[in-house]
Amino acid sequence: MSEAQLVEALTAPHKLQYTYKRSVGPVMGRFFTALRDEGKILGVRREDGSVMCPPKEYDPDTAAAISEMVEVGPGGEVVSWAWVSEPRAKQPCDRPFAYALIKLDGADTPLLHAIDCGREDAIRTGMRVTAKLADERVGHITDIRCFEPEA
């Protein structure tokens, strides 16, 4: 046995996290499937006719079950934004970016996501942005890689 083999340590991966698996259900399931397979963003129609994106199974005001899906976006308008000048490793962009609430075309409620526009003075409330999809999509919200200013 060589010396290198003698000092080789036994290692095993350890992740400090809860190993829950989650099922997304009938409404979010359709949202994530459409995003992954067709690159489409869906909202859900509420009882009052307005469209909520991201879609949920229940109306947050009336608790009514809702399921009528509607395609929204991929363009939309910035409702609010926060400028992250020092991104953390897990965050969507590795250069300064904005978290933003984005009201997609056809939706009445805004979606939380990231806007990659390079500089703080390149973003303002009311600005038009559009979704940039990930090349390889797996059915997660990160299948939208980020939003970018509309050309």
Partner 1 sequence: MRDVAIVAFAQSPSVRSDTQRNEVEILMPVVAEVREASGIPKGEFDFICSGSSDYLAGQSFAFVAGLDAVGAWPPVSESHVEMDGAWALYEAWVKIQMGYADSALVYGFSKCSLGDLPEVMAMQLDPYYQTPLWPDAVSMAALQARQCLETGAVTAEQMADAVVRSRANAKSNPNAQLSGDVDREKLLAEPTFVSPLHKHDCSPISDGAAAMVLVAGEKARQHCERPAWITGFAHIMEPMDLGVRPLTESRSTAEAARRAGVDAAKLDVAELHGPFSHQEILLEQAIGIGSSTDVNPSGGALAANPMMAAGLIRLGEAAARIHDGSAATALGHATSGPCLQQNLVCAMEGR
Task: Tell me: does residue 76 bind partner 1 (CB under 8 A).
Answer: no
Rounded Cα distance between 136 and 57, Å, is 27
Q: For residue 30, which phi and psi values (nearest 5 degrees)?
A: -70, -35
User: 28: Cβ–Cβ under 8 A, 6 or more apart, which residues?
Assistant: 54, 55, 56, 57
Which tokens sit at 36? 């992954």
Place of tokens 């303002």: 124
Write the interaction track for partner 1 spanning residues 32-51; mark x where CB under 8 A is met and - where it is not.
x-------------------
> Minimal distance in Å, beta carbon 4 to partner 1?
35
Is residue 67 within 8 Å of 57, Cβ to Cβ? yes
Rounded Cα distance between 141 and 106, Å, is 19
Task: Tell me: does residue 85 bind partner 1 (CB under 8 A).
Answer: yes
For partner 1, the closer CB: 24 or 64: 24
Residue among 73, 74, 76, 110 that touches partner 1 (CB under 8 A): 110
Task: Tell me: does residue 62 bind partner 1 (CB under 8 A).
Answer: no
> Minimal distance in Å, beta carbon 10 to partner 1?
23
Q: What residue ranges bind partner 1 (CB under 8 A)?
A: 16, 18, 22, 24, 28, 32, 52-54, 56, 60-61, 79-85, 88, 90-92, 99-101, 109-114, 120, 125, 140-142
